Structure 1
Amino acid sequence: METRQEDHLQALGRKTDYRMDYAPEVLETFVNKHPGNDYWVQFNCPEFTSLCPITGQPDFAEIKIMYIPAEKMVESKSLKLYLFSFRNHGDFHEDCVNIIMKDLIKLMEPKYIEVTGIFTPRGGISIYPYANYGLPGTKYEQMAEHRMMQHGL
């Protein structure tokens, strides 16, 4: 019987076990079949929830993740389970966005990645943190600098 590259994935196609707190260990990757091509992969999670670390009140957001893969790509069901693991996790909005980005960099080592949190208003103010990263010493590092300077304009 031939082994497929997807056979090592643990979450895809199996009963879903939802974690009750921050769980980066649920993230899984698969091999990018087109590492020589630059192309965008975008995920939108419109039902992201975390907790305010001070009040314990829930915060709701849409999390947008865009990346240009290198050798590895994140498997979507594992990403969903990872994002849902923030449900009972207490961190500020800015922290959540940076943690997500750093965990995905560690997991995939992408050429480029950016993460945006579009949090619903609390007390009449909404917060939209944005973080990005480009592979050091490459055109993607320059791209990250450029996109950061142009962000929000």
Structure 2
Amino acid sequence: MREQENLQQLGKTTVYKQDYAPEVLEAFDNKHPENDYWVRFNCPEFTSLCPITGQPDFATIHIDYIPDIKMVESKSLKLYLFSFRNHGAFHEDCVNIIMKDLIKLMNPNYIEVTGIFTPRGGISIYPFCNYGKPDSKYEALAEKRLFEHNR
């Protein structure tokens, strides 16, 4: 099955990258492309580094998407998210980079990424970004969810 899907990470010894590694992301075919449905990933142990101070930032990352033809394989997603551990990026950059890499990988109908970063220096940041396929009902969904975010 793994060979059929051309998945390289699943079922093998885990090798953790030491810096940002989008090349570890893998996709497989959506077995139900005729259905609209949500997929949610929660990563409560996300870490990155402040690009200025080098201090660690901790977050829960929520990734929600409506797949089209391709879906992200969960172990490769875990390895990808862990690759931010020694990467310097602002909170807002992290969520946008994650979203753009997943769009490039799967071309989903819709995707949103939220970062729930723990406070540092007395302030917490919760960046949200989303995307819907242009000229589709998903583009309208993206606009609606963005403008109604946190209402």
Mark yes or no: TM-score above 0.5. Answer: yes
Structure 1 outlier segments of 4+, above 2 Å:
2-6
Q: Per-residue displacement from partner, 1:79-126 (whole Å, max 9, x unpaired)? A: 000000000000000000000000000000000000000000001100
Structure 2: which amino acid aligns with 1:74?
V
Deviations 1:44-97 (A, max 9, x none): 000000000000000000000000000000000000000000000000000000
Q: How does 1:3-152 map to 2 (within 5 A)?
A: 5-6=4-5, 8-152=6-150
**AA aligned opposite 1:5:** Q
Identity of aligned residues (%): 77
Aligned CA RMSD, in angstroms, stands at 1.2
Partner of 2:92: helix, strand, or coil?
helix
TM-score normalised per structure 1? 0.96
- The total of aligned residue pairs comes to 151
In structure 2, distance between residues paired with 1:143 and 1:4: 35
SS for the counterpart of 1:148 is helix
- Whole-angstrom CA distance in 1 between matches of 2:115 and 2:10: 26
When normalised by structure 2's length, the TM-score is 0.98
C-alpha distance in 1, partners of 2:59/2:41? 14
Structure 2 unaligned residues grouped into runs of 5+: none
Tell me how far 1:152 sits from its aligned partner.
1.5
